[in-house]
Amino acid sequence: MNNERRVRVRFAPSPTGALHIGGVRTALYNYLFARQHGGDFILRIEDTDSQRFVPGAEDYIMQSLKWCGISIDEGINEGGPHAPYRQSERRDIYLKYALQLVQNGNAYYAFDSAEDLNKLREQAEANGQTFSYDAKVRNSLQTSLNLSEDEVNERINRGDQWVIRFKMPENENVEMDDLIRGHISINTQTLDDKVLYKSADKLPTYHLANIVDDHLMEISHVIRGEEWLPSLPLHYLLYRAFGWESTRPQFAHLPLLLKPQGQGKLSKRDGDKFGFPVFPLEWHPEDGQVAMGYREAGYLPEAFINMLALLGWNPGTEQEIFTMDDLISAFSLEHVSKSGARFNPEKAKWFNQQWLRTTDDKKLAEMIKPLHEAMGINASVERTAEAIALMKDRATFVQDYASLTERMFKRPDSYDEKSVNKFWKVDNVSKLRELRDLLAGESQIVPETTEPKVMDWIKENGYQMGQLMNTLRTAIWGISNGPSIFHICAFIGKEESLARIDQAIATLGEGK
Ligand code: GLU
């Protein structure tokens, strides 16, 4: 029935804190689906629960999506034909719909106070039961199903607080379809009468606002986390109660992200517990500890997105590296799994390593510039990019390039003890002096010509190549391993190379 509709999806976070990576994945799958179908990706802020509102969360969500490369077609900043996109700014819309359901017999007023409800809960508990506001009790409580119309009006007019509750049909099987989970059937016996609207704050609850907005915003597909699956029967029934079944969106409930070890959902606290980020960007709560972010930990957004996309979706092939464009063409809800996806922090690092290899060196140079500056290095982007090229494949995180290239710009201020013990010998140092003279005779150091010349010279003299090269390396680089020594010497230049040899001899002496 929905096949011909324009694809319109929404990411509908509640600004209750930092956006967890599970939330980013939901946004990503929505985005991929929208782009693949030439549809619209909408950001709607669901902030009707004023008590859970966290300042800064909304901004955090938008910054995170931006960093990930997820662009928004309609949203709180972008505007659009269905503005406003922040539910607290749409509060005037919802009452009318709640009342429509009261009028057509699908909802009712309830006047029970919080204390009344607490008492009922306590009583039930005392009898070993749990209280549920449902068909069994609604006719005997303070509801418009039970009170006369006059009494209801009187209470409303005198300013009593009320809520509107959905009147859950009794003993009916709700037949639902999910694009990932297939057909689902639930009997309403297990469901209670959810609050849809509260007079106290003149705000709808999640369920009402979500359905009304999805309808008004012409949402074609609802792609969201598995934790919303239990709400699906109510949502189906709300579409029916409003008479909107013919345009009801299709639903897809995504699998949970699981902890790296053992069972259970990956939680916001797991990051600190296990030492890996669970948020895209660093999060600074008003009170409490700063939480790590992928960006600050040195992940590239491309790697982060690539890793997230494969948590719960597979392309059906062996391919692992995907750009956003690749993902847009390869993604499909049919290949999203029903079972939870275990988060693997090691694999996340692997994706980052892969992406660091293919990322433009100039871009990386820009990224590490502040770190270099803090180290007292003020090299140009071009020069840093050249240094990065020599260290390619050695980094796991962006910032690794700052330390990996440090000695391209600064003389060693210490020498690795193991290397010194192994290679800084009288014999090696005297040969290093000879090599210094040879290098000094070159007009400049060029790996392609200098290296063969040095090799020939070593052979002619019957010197041991490994010993001498490692001694040179220790002098120039401070440690006997690292990238090609001739490339380093070429990069730092002849004069600097000679100066580093002199400094090493002055510091370490003539060898043991
Ligand atoms: N506001 C809900 C959330 O925080 C949205 C659920 C939905 O997509 O329907 O996840």
Q: What angle do CA 363, 367, 370 make, to 5 degrees?
A: 145
Distance from the alpha carbon of residue 224 to the mean position of ligand 1, in angstroms:
7
- The CATH T-level fold of domain 92-198 is Glutamyl-tRNA Synthetase; domain 3 (3.90.800)
Instruction: Note the pLDDT tens digit of each residue in 488-500.
Output: 999 999 999 999 9
pLDDT in tens, 83-102: 999 999 999 999 999 999 99
pLDDT at 1: 45
Q: Give residue 3's pLDDT.
A: 55
Is the CB of 43 within 6 Å of ligand 1? no
Condensed to tens digits (0 to 9), the pLDDT of residues 334-369 reads: 999 999 999 999 999 999 999 999 999 999 999 999
* pLDDT over 90, % of the chain: 94
- Is the CB of residue 224 below 6 angstroms from any atom belonging to ligand 1? yes
Q: Across all residues in the chain, what is the average pLDDT?
A: 96
Please pick, among 198, 259, 268, 453, the residue that the annotation labels catalytic.
Answer: 268
- The predicted structure's pLDDT at residue 262: 67
The answer, yes or no, to whether any atom of ligand 1 lies below 6 A from the CB of 14, is yes
Q: Please name the amino acid found at residue 328.
A: I
Ligand 1 pocket: which of 11, 31, 46 to mutate (most atoms within 8 A of CB): 46
Beta carbons within 8 Å of 492's beta carbon, 6+ residues apart: 408, 476, 500
Residue 231 Cα: closest atom of ligand 1: 9
Give the C-alpha distances (Å, rounded to integers) separating 412 from 233, 312, 320, 372, 386: 67, 47, 39, 15, 19
Query: Quick check: 47 and 32 in contact, CB under 8 A?
Result: no
Instruction: Give the pLDDT confidence of 378-398 residue by residue, as tens digits.
Output: 999 999 999 999 999 999 999
Listed range (184-193, 280-289, 426-435) with the worst mean pLDDT: 280-289
pLDDT in tens, 155-172: 999 999 999 999 999 999
Q: How far is the CA of 428 from the centre of ligand 1 (A)?
A: 68
**SS3 of 19, please?**
coil
Question: Cβ of 25: how many Cβ atoms within 10 Å?
Answer: 23
- Fold of the domain spanning 411-512: Arc Repressor Mutant, subunit A (1.10.10)
Residue 268 a catalytic site member: yes
Which amino acid makes up residue 16? Answer: T
Whether 2 shows a pLDDT value over 60: the answer reads: no
Residue 53 is predicted with a pLDDT of 86
How would CATH label the architecture of 1-75+255-357? 3-Layer(aba) Sandwich (3.40)
Among 3-17, 262-276, 332-346, 439-453, whose mean pLDDT is lowest? 262-276
Q: Is 352 in the pocket of ligand 1 (CB under 6 A)?
A: no
CB count within 10 Å of CB 375 equals: 15
Lowest mean pLDDT segment, chosen from 205-214, 274-283, 360-369: 274-283
The closest-lying atom of ligand 1 relative to the alpha carbon of residue 214 is 9
pLDDT per residue over 215-230, tens digit each?
999 999 999 999 999 9
- Does the Cβ of 53 fall within 6 Å of ligand 1? no
Mean pLDDT across 468-482: 96
Cβ–ligand 1 contact at 46 (below 6 Å): yes
Distance 209 CA to ligand 1 centre (A): 11
Tokens of 178: 């999910």
Of 175, 186, 182, 223, the closest CA to residue 27 belongs to 223
Full-model pTM: 0.93
Given a cut of 70, whether residue 104 has pLDDT beyond it is yes
**Domain edges within the chain:** 1-75+255-357, 92-198, 359-406, 411-512
Digit-coded pLDDT (tens) for 425-436:
999 999 999 999
Examine the pLDDT at 458 and tell me if it is beyond 90.
yes
Question: Domain 359-406 maps to which CATH number in 1.20.120, 1.10.3470, 1.10.8, 3.30.70?
Answer: 1.10.8
Same fold yes or no, 1-75+255-357 and 411-512 = no
Q: Is the CB of 205 under 6 A from ligand 1?
A: no
